[in-house]
Amino acid sequence: MFNASWMPCISPCSKLSSMTNLRLKDVFFPLVIFLALCGICPAQKAAITFDDLPRNGDLPPGVTQTETAKAAVAILKKKHVPPAYGFLNAIRLEGSPDGAEALKIWAASEPVGNHTYSHIDLEKNTPEAWERDLAQDEPTLELLSPNGDWHWLRYPYLHEGETVEKRRAVREYLKAHGYRIAEVTIDWEDYLWNFAYARCAPKNDQKAIEWLHSSYLSTASEFIDLARAQSQLLFGRDIHYVVLMHLGAYTSTILPEAIDLLRKKGFQFETLEEAEKDPAYESDPDAGIKDGGTLLDQLMLVKKLPMPPHAEKPYEQVEHICE
């Protein structure tokens, strides 16, 4: 039936029509606002993860690993980030009570996963040697997290095998041993700034520290946008992303702003398990890839898709600042 209340109201409106319009407006507009807020146009989702626990790179003199871990955990809690995996290299604990304490603090609040014992490079080692190194990390993970799901592997250097035979051999081993691969789909190589900050902070070089701050955030922004453009090219949508960060010297300074940046870009946070429910993570480039990069980088490579335009990371400056 024709309903006059859907027609534009031409003056003079009948009292009845105005009342109907009012009721529709009362229901319709709040509904539109509700749907917009609750996600009918869904926000992008991302899981934040940290590598190289208990410490990536150097720390400025006088700063402990325990303080660094405590600060990171407090920021994650304050910012209401769901449990964030930290991937452990147990070799970093050898002769380091401070590292052990830092790790205990992390594991009391956030989950832990395997990043191999010595951060072994699959491109420089056989699958058998790599697998032994992976297994060597396990007793510490079991001790730290007896009830946790630590069977998540983050490949050191994101090297998944420079030959397809190596790649498949390691994947078979991981599957047989109950591991899931913690892939990365957003990476701005934040570790570069950990190393640089450890050099700049003791010099109290304010100009350099200001540059670290602005270059970190602009690089992060660029590579978040790049990952989204890659995702559109590969999947025609925003996948659920996994963000790679490293726990180190710059974490307690920059992490709040990195989290805010992702939120400003419309991201909501979720756990690694939730993110990897996205079928995108079933994709396997299944090829030998040297210097692998993120899962999206690898897929672009095997599908021979051109990389969307983007600014490169400021490797030269960030690697040499404050030397």
Dist CA 32 CA 34 (whole Å): 5
3-class secondary-structure state, position 51: strand
CA-wise closest residue to 225 among 186, 275, 183: 186
Q: What is the number of helices (H) and of strands (E) in the chain?
A: 12, 8
Does 297 engage in binding with Zn ion (CB under 5 A)?
Answer: no
The footprint of Zn ion on residues 207-236 (CB under 5 A) is none
- For Zn ion, the binding residues in 123-162 under the rule CB under 5 A are 156
Q: Residue-wise over 97-111: b if at least 16 C-beta within 10 A, else e?
A: ebbbbbbebbbebbb
By C-beta, is 169 or 244 nearer to Zn ion? 244
| CB-nearer residue toward Zn ion: 209 or 292 | 292
Q: How far is the CA of 22 from the CAs of 16, 41, 141, 318, in angstroms?
A: 10, 26, 61, 60
Rg (CA), the chain: 24
* Contact flag: residue 278 with Zn ion (CB under 5 A): no
Give the count of residues interacting with Zn ion (CB under 5 A).
3
Cα distance between residue 279 and residue 269, in whole Å: 18
Residues 35-94 that bind Zn ion (CB under 5 A): 51-52
For Zn ion, the closer of residues 211 and 223 by Cβ is 223
Closest CB 150 distance from Zn ion, rounded Å: 16
CB of 55 to Zn ion, least distance (A): 11
- 110 contacts Zn ion (rule: CB under 5 A): no
Task: Say how far apart CA 89 and CA 92 lie, in whole Å.
Answer: 6
Q: How far is the CB of 115 from Zn ion (least distance, A)?
A: 6
* CB-closest chain residue to Zn ion: 51
Nearer to Zn ion, 209 or 318 (CB): 318
By beta-carbon proximity to Zn ion, the closer residue of 52 and 183 is: 52
Contacts with Zn ion by CB under 5 A lie at 51-52, 156
